[in-house]
Amino acid sequence: MINPQQDSSSLFDDSHGLGYQVHVEAFEGPLDLLLHLIRKNEVDIYDIPIAAITRQYLEYLELMKELNLDVAGDFLVMASTLLQIKSRLLLPVQAEEEGGEEEEEDPRAELVRRLLEYQKYKEAAQQLELLPLLGRDAFVRARDLTELKELQTADESPEVELFDLVEAFRRVLADLPVQTFHEVGSEQINIADRINAILTLLQERKGVTFEDLFTEVTTRDYLIATFLAVLELCKLKMVKITQAGSFGAIWITSAVLDSADASEGVDDHDW
Amino acid sequence: MHPKGWMIMTGNLRSVVESLIFVAEAPLSLDRLSSILEEHERSEIRAVLEELLAEYELSGRGIVLVEVAGGYQFRSRPEHADYLKRLSRTRPPKFGQSSLETLAIIAYRQPITRAEIEYLRGVDCGGILKTLLDKKLIKILGKKDVPGRPLIYGTTREFLELFSLKNLASLPTLKEIQDLVQPPIYEEQGELPLTVSAGGEETGE
Amino acid sequence: MHPKGWMIMTGNLRSVVESLIFVAEAPLSLDRLSSILEEHERSEIRAVLEELLAEYELSGRGIVLVEVAGGYQFRSRPEHADYLKRLSRTRPPKFGQSSLETLAIIAYRQPITRAEIEYLRGVDCGGILKTLLDKKLIKILGKKDVPGRPLIYGTTREFLELFSLKNLASLPTLKEIQDLVQPPIYEEQGELPLTVSAGGEETGE
């Protein structure tokens, strides 16, 4: 499967000195660089000469370092992937145990798929840029006509996005004095999250068991936050906790929304 | 044919002038138009403006060209004012900064009292709470078991609908947003589907 | 003549619709127009819109009527952009390659998580996502129903408006690129792992 080394001496022959700089800036990431190398070498994307391409790729990273450019981690990850593929190609094909599928997938296949997929969106991005861009190619009427001010209107979709909400919250916290910020810091937010989650659950169904609250993730912090959340809700008299028998399930029900719902069994536990 | 070949032809000049008046922030004067379209004679532009005025006058369109404040401007036909008013009547909810902040605090910190909200925002929120209650975006969950028994607030189902949220747990956390701008941690790259699939086929999700 | 005498006559209805679109702050949808002009049949309004579209299309005017972001809006004729720049209202929007790539991926693959975008692009995209969120070109749609519950992103109405797109279906068709230099030798690969991972299609919504 390994291709004969069809090294075209060096890939960067045509770009000397400052020319490098241009190239360095031109690549959006490791996939972009690889596409460039494949084109440059005029090799078949379905049969990439991994050894040659890897060497050129590494040369390029070396070049970036020499130019004191930050070699982003993403480029390094790809480098190790390439080396991995290269070494897998060197392994004898029947090295797998006898039960394995008759045809091992080419170690390069995943990379090829990624490259083709990336190429597709790279092209799409170029297409997008050709569309008539508002503010560049087309303009709308100026909006500050005083005569029409009171008539102006917004579109029918809500004026607000989820992101606005988070940003608003972030702004509030950022404006707080540093000391206070810690008070409302990360652990407490976890409790708030858990309170929110429990309230949601109780909006969806009448009651939940204590165990229901611990189904998702079970880290220590999560358990503690959930436990504290239940305590907090109890303290606020927003939930009612009942237990069916001494060893039965502990039920949490909403105390606020359906007050008519009288509970049998053990009454409010005082936690 | 005009002597200067690179100039806009008359029909096209009219179209360009129309565009300029449409886009300009304020009424566009003949002076300003002449300086923008310096390749053209002032008289030529004036003629085009006269044409446009006459054309819009006759057309009965919804957009009219008026001479106002020493310039030219497109406006909506005044006779349609009653219909135009309906545009603002059907206006969707719009959020001011303070409403949004208050709503955000309640969403993320519920159950929460008014005093706690005001502590966080540093200003009185009575009016905003009332508005949010009216809009059914928040509701009173009950009373807090502390001296004074203040009301505690939380968000509603309508709140979830407004933000197309499945439930409160779907609210993005601050950390998730902050993580976007944090520099990436490369150790995590190990979980990329690429590496996984190098060993098998499943993509790591 | 319409049975109900108080209704706007057809010619006038066209003029009113024109005014409404002109005055509205954002593209005006047929739904919105129908609710504003409740005395009129939706079909009647639709017919008027068709007429207007055809009329503006043919006229060569400086103002064009476009279907964008699910609605109708007047815009300046794109061919005149060079002249309009001279008004120097605002700096034109500019996109780097990385923003465009990220936007393209989100536009075609939404709802999509950050991890999926980064797998496709091969680079960290957190900073770009934050910028696109700030610019309101993308939005958080919720969280994906997979372990870790990552945020999922999609494009906004502003995205459609910016790129003059009627809706997402009018995005340029994605080209399936089989080869870069030479014709492919292998037969086409089956499912992309990516499709598999995005194919858990139940995004929390």
The 10s digit of each residue's pLDDT in C62-108 is 999 999 999 999 999 999 998 988 887 667 888 889 999 999 999 99
Shortest CB distance from C36 goes to which of B15, B83, B169? B83
Q: How many A/C residue pairs have CB atoms within 8 Å?
A: 182
Q: Which of B123, B188, B194 would you mutate first to test chain A, the one with the most A CBs within 10 A?
A: B194
Structure token pair of residue B107: 């969403």
Sign of the CA dihedral with A221 first, then B118, B140, and A241 last: positive
- Measured in angstroms, the CA of B141 and the nearest CA of chain A are apart by 7
Chains that touch B (3 or more CB pairs under 8 A): A, C
CB atoms within 10 A of CB C181: 12
Judged by CB atoms closer than 8 Å, whether chains meet at A157 and B165 is answered as: no
Integer-rounded Cα Rg, in Å, for chain B is 30
Question: Chain B, 157-186: which have a CB under 8 Å from a chain C CB?
Answer: 164-166, 169-170, 172, 176-177, 179-182, 184
Q: Which of A1, A78, A163, A193 would you mutate first to test chain C, the one with the most C CBs within 10 A?
A: A163
- A208 vs C147, higher pLDDT: C147
CA distance B203 to C37: 52
Tokens 């929304």 belong to which residue?
A: A257
Question: Chain B, 23-42: which have a CB under 8 Å from a chain A CB?
Answer: 23-26
Residue B155 has phi, psi (to 5 degrees) of -90, 165
Report the pLDDT value the prediction gives residue B183, as an integer from 0 to 100: 61
pLDDT tens across the length of chain A (271 residues): 334 333 333 444 444 444 444 445 568 899 999 999 999 899 999 999 999 999 999 998 888 877 767 677 888 889 999 999 988 888 766 545 555 555 678 889 999 999 999 999 999 999 999 999 998 888 888 764 443 444 333 333 446 788 888 888 887 777 776 544 334 334 444 677 788 888 888 877 778 877 677 665 556 666 777 777 877 887 777 787 776 665 666 778 887 644 333 333 333 333 3
- The predicted model scores a pTM of 0.70
A-chain CB neighbours of C193 within 8 Å are: 110, 113
Report the pLDDT value the prediction gives residue C99, as an integer from 0 to 100: 94
**Angle, vertex CA C18, rays to CA C14 and CA C23, nearest 5:** 150
Report the pLDDT value the prediction gives residue A244, as an integer from 0 to 100: 63
Q: Does C156 touch chain A (CB under 8 A)?
A: yes
- C6 vs C157, higher pLDDT: C157
Judged by CB atoms closer than 8 Å, whether chains meet at C122 and A78 is answered as: yes
Report the pLDDT value the prediction gives residue C57, as an integer from 0 to 100: 87
Judged by CB atoms closer than 8 Å, whether chains meet at B15 and C196 is answered as: no
Question: Chain A, 128-157: which have a CB under 8 Å from a chain B CB?
Answer: 139-142, 144-145, 147-148, 150-157
DSSP chain A: -PPP----S-GGGG--TTHHHHHHHH--SHHHHHHHHHHHHT--GGG--HHHHHHHHHHHHHHHHHTT----HHHHHHHHHHHHHHHHHHS-GGGS-TTS-SSPPPTTHHHHHHHHHHHHHHHHHHHHHHS--BTTTB----S--GGGGGG----SS-S--HHHHHHHHHHHHHHS-HHHHHHTSHHHHHHHHHHHHHHHHHHHSSEEETGGGGSS---HHHHHHHHHHHHHHHHTT-EEEEESSTTSPEEEEESSTTTT----SS-----
Write the CA distances from B150 to A16, B147, B168, integer angstroms: 74, 8, 23
Q: Are A237 and A253 in contact (CB under 8 A)?
A: no
Write the CA distances from A6 to A89, B199, C46, integer angstroms: 16, 28, 63
The stretches in chain B having pLDDT less than 50 are: 1-6, 186-205
Q: Does B24 touch chain C (CB under 8 A)?
A: yes
Report the pLDDT value the prediction gives residue A185, as an integer from 0 to 100: 39
Could you tell me which residues are beta bridge partners of residue A207? A253
C-chain CB neighbours of A148 within 8 Å are: 23
Report the pLDDT value the prediction gives residue B20, as an integer from 0 to 100: 94
CA distance A246 to A241: 13
Q: Does A173 touch chain B (CB under 8 A)?
A: yes
Question: Chain B, 46-105: which have a CB under 8 Å from a chain C CB?
Answer: 60-63, 74, 76-77, 80, 83-84, 86-87, 90
Report the pLDDT value the prediction gives residue C105, as an integer from 0 to 100: 97
CA distance B32 to B42: 10
Q: Which of C14, C83, C132 would you mutate first to test chain B, the one with the most B CBs within 10 A?
A: C83
CA distance A241 to A209: 9
Residue A188 has phi, psi (to 5 degrees) of -65, -35
A-chain CB neighbours of B109 within 8 Å are: 184, 192
- Measured in angstroms, the CA of C167 and the nearest CA of chain B are apart by 20
Report the pLDDT value the prediction gives residue C205, as an integer from 0 to 100: 35
> DSSP character for B54?
H
Report the pLDDT value the prediction gives residue A199, as an integer from 0 to 100: 83
Question: Chain B, 57-116: which have a CB under 8 Å from a chain A CB?
Answer: 73-76, 81, 84-85, 87-88, 90-95, 97, 100-101, 103-105, 107-111
> DSSP character for C122?
S
Chains that touch A (3 or more CB pairs under 8 A): B, C
| ipTM over the 0.90 cut-off | no
CA distance A63 to A40: 17
Per-residue b/e over C29-55, b at no fewer than 16 CB within 10 Å? beebbbebbeebeeebbeebbeebeee
Judged by CB atoms closer than 8 Å, whether chains meet at C193 and A110 is answered as: yes
- Measured in angstroms, the CA of C1 and the nearest CA of chain A are apart by 30
- Measured in angstroms, the CA of B13 and the nearest CA of chain A are apart by 17
The 10s digit of each residue's pLDDT in A96-116 is 555 555 567 888 999 999 999
Report the pLDDT value the prediction gives residue B5, as an integer from 0 to 100: 40
Report the pLDDT value the prediction gives residue B1, as an integer from 0 to 100: 39
C-chain CB neighbours of B205 within 8 Å are: 146-147, 197, 200
